[in-house]
Structure 1
Amino acid sequence: MNNTEQSTACHCDITDACKNLLKIERFHTQDNIRQRLIRLGYQHINQSTVSRMLSRLNVIKVTDAYGKKIYRLPSEGKSQHTDVSVSTKIEFITHNQLVVVIKTPPGCAQLIARVLDLNPHPEILGSVAGNDMVMVAPKSIHRIENCENVVKLLLDQPN
């Protein structure tokens, strides 16, 4: 096996190990994940490798039942389209001429932002999620109402 094949095999092993850990354990930081992987024998892993791996696995940070943020794998086998349960997690959508604001119940904002991230649109520059609020930056503030309408459409909300 040459170095490239060895690197790819190792990369797959560590990704699988990380995925399995995320299925069975709760991690609050990337360093917790890194330390656990080191204990499993992946001695040369650093934080940036963990970060890239979490990104490739589409891992999200969610609030657990105790109100703490943990890393979680996305639901497997689920459609990436908005379903009724997601659309019911939105209290309101509005804008202030600069950003579109989506208000959600506590712990739901990252889910809503993820739905927007999975459905890119030219009117949306990006989104930032907190615990119960998502701020969506429009591509142009001169088209803020179009951006708000797109957000509502992507999240199955009435215009």
Structure 2
Amino acid sequence: MRLSKNQRQHRIGQILESEAVTSQAQLVELLAAAGVDATQATVSRDLEDLGAVKVRTGGGESVYAVPELPKDRVAPGDHLRRVLGEWVVEVASSANLVVVRTPPGSAHVVASALDRAGLPGIIGTVAGDDTLLVIAESGPAGGRVGASLRELAGL
């Protein structure tokens, strides 16, 4: 079966959590066994997008792993810029609220990246399907935050 890029990458993440995957070819085979069509080149790009790295296990074997990004760790600026540039299609602000629009099913990706980024002036986010609400500090901070998000998204 053909999955969207996000669905396929989610499936790859699940496989890497449950299996010791030593090569891209092995990962292609595991995906095929799960009924997912993917080439080695596609898997290679997916692993890079996911930030997967090879780590040495206790037995000395090198396996792929996707490092977790804890909620209290600040997301790198390049990651935030890439997420916003890829997923944000519109930003509007009013007082201390910023409304960010994304393609359907993508708002949570942007909200998570913003929550982890620790940008100044942002209190938190609430994500729906294709829209997220960014709550800025009280007063007119929404305009500043909105302008910052538009710049990061390249809008």
Q: TM-score range by the shorter chain?
A: 0.3 to 0.5
Tell me the TM-score normalized by structure 1.
0.46
TM-score by length of 2: 0.47
